[in-house]
Amino acid sequence: MHELTDLPRLLTGLPKAVLELGELFSAAGFEIALVGGPVRDLFLGRISPDLDFTTNARPDDTLKVIEGWADATWDVGREFGTIAFRRGKDQFEVTTYRADAYDGDSRKPIVAFGDRLEEDLIRRDFTMNAMALRLPSLELVDPYGGLDDLRASRVMTPSTPVVSFTDDPLRMMRAARFTSQLGVELAPEVEQAMKDMAGEINRISRERVRDEIIKTIIGAYPRAGVDALVRTGLADHVLPEVSALQLETDEHHRHKDVYQHSLQVLEQAADLESDADGPVPAPDFVLRFAALMHDVGKPATRKFEPSGAVSFRHHDMVGAKLTKKRMRELRFDNESIKDVARLVELHMRFYGYGDAGWTDSAVRRYVNDAGPLLERLHRLTRSDVTTRNRRKAERLAFAYDDLEQRIQTLREQEELDAVRPDLDGQQIMEILGIKPGPEVGKAYKFLLEHRLDHGPVDYDQAAALLKEWWSQQS
């Protein structure tokens, strides 16, 4: 966190065009200020990729000011006072001061242009985003204490939280997201308002809620963001399966409930992501969300055994179905739904390997079932170990090391990443003298099962196996 005295040095990282833009508007008799996230990020020691400005100039005036200076302009947001443009490689958005409100039913913004910067700032979501830097004078405008809240790592609203969240309930999700992205905490009055108003999130489209969940999960501190959603009751409406985990006790981790275990698995999975050139580049939403959701099937499968133990049989299968249902309701794309649910379904497959050992056939099936998700499954399975018993943790880690080594050995011997039958569809039809149809698929499946169980064979062996199987089918 940098102080106000650091501002001149921090500004050197901004594009030269920012100051040029300030000079243009000032010469034309208008005010303009860098506003919101870019100003906040200056004090956090980083340059925001999005450069947003606010001005008392109306959209037509803005277009006149930048005419001949901007290389290209877009006025798709003109109705709401926003003009976007490009200067060289830099892109900017300039929006007229606003004092807008929201229709409580339709959520459609009601636009009213304003004349004062302070009025524009009070309508913004949080105080740390309600700071502005006047141009070209470089005067910081911070009427609502955003810099103090940033110093205190605190999420607070410019107006009262109730007024702010009534205007736009999605701001409650954004508050939780900020705890994940910036490692800040909710001000007590903000958290209380979120608890009191959590149900208002149902006014917001599932798509917008989904986008905030994604940003929360891929933040630098995802555990904090998810916990904020659960603590305030927002998760009861958007991720109820996660909230329900608080009620359960995990038979493998009696020192903590399943909810805390799931948060720890999420945190550990994020720590195991690779760099940009690795197999699972950080941040990876699919891995992280699977880590969060991996045990959501436990509440529905809890059973008290005669011995007094608690079991959760088939919670992996039930959890996969619940995960699919929740992600569909949140309008996730089909590929993400399929991948996350598959990881949830497979997360228990490894357990027992260290005790019983697996045949080569079982190892092949593990790789085949994981498919392109194998590297994520490796990380999810390792992350699922949260026991405080060091000996148990070391035993599980050793067993998984051994499994990965066996996978690598088989991969080198058998091209394991692309397991296919030893004969393709065309060869199957030629050997059996049949045309395309269901029988080809059945033959293909038979040969694939043999390949997984016994490894590769040559053409003649595969043909003999196929003919023997076909004679039995006939």
Question: 147-168 pLDDT, tens per residue?
Answer: 999 999 999 999 999 999 998 9
State residue 254's pLDDT score: 47
Nearest residue to 42 via CA among 146, 116, 123? 146
Tell me the per-residue pLDDT of 125-135, one tens digit each, with 9 for 90 and over: 999 999 999 99
Interatomic CA distance for residues 214 and 286, integer angstroms: 10
State residue 255's pLDDT score: 40
State residue 455's pLDDT score: 79
Contact (Cβ atoms closer than 8 angstroms) between residue 113 and residue 61: no
Contact (Cβ atoms closer than 8 angstroms) between residue 291 and residue 269: yes
Interatomic CA distance for residues 107 and 204, integer angstroms: 8
Nearest residue to 113 via CA among 185, 36, 225, 30? 30
Radius of gyration of the chain (CA): 29
Contact (Cβ atoms closer than 8 angstroms) between residue 21 and residue 71: no
CATH superfamily name and code, 4-152: Beta Polymerase, domain 2 (3.30.460.10)
pTM: predicted TM-score of the whole model, two decimal places? 0.83
State residue 253's pLDDT score: 46
Q: Are strands 51-55 and 90-96 parallel, antiparallel or unpaired?
A: parallel
Interatomic CA distance for residues 100 and 81, integer angstroms: 11
347-352 contacts: CB < 8 A, separation 24 or more? Answer: 347/290, 347/294, 347/316, 347/377, 347/380, 347/381, 347/384, 348/315, 348/316, 350/381, 350/399, 350/400, 350/403
Interatomic CA distance for residues 66 and 61, integer angstroms: 9
Q: Which residues of the chain fall below pLDDT 70?
A: 1-5, 100-111, 247-256, 308, 311, 352-356, 413-419, 474
Interatomic CA distance for residues 267 and 261, integer angstroms: 10
Contact (Cβ atoms closer than 8 angstroms) between residue 122 and residue 130: yes
Q: Beta strands of 153-268 (E only): which ranges? A: 154-155, 185-186
DSSP state of 175: H
Q: Where are the domains of the chain?
A: 4-152, 239-417, 420-473
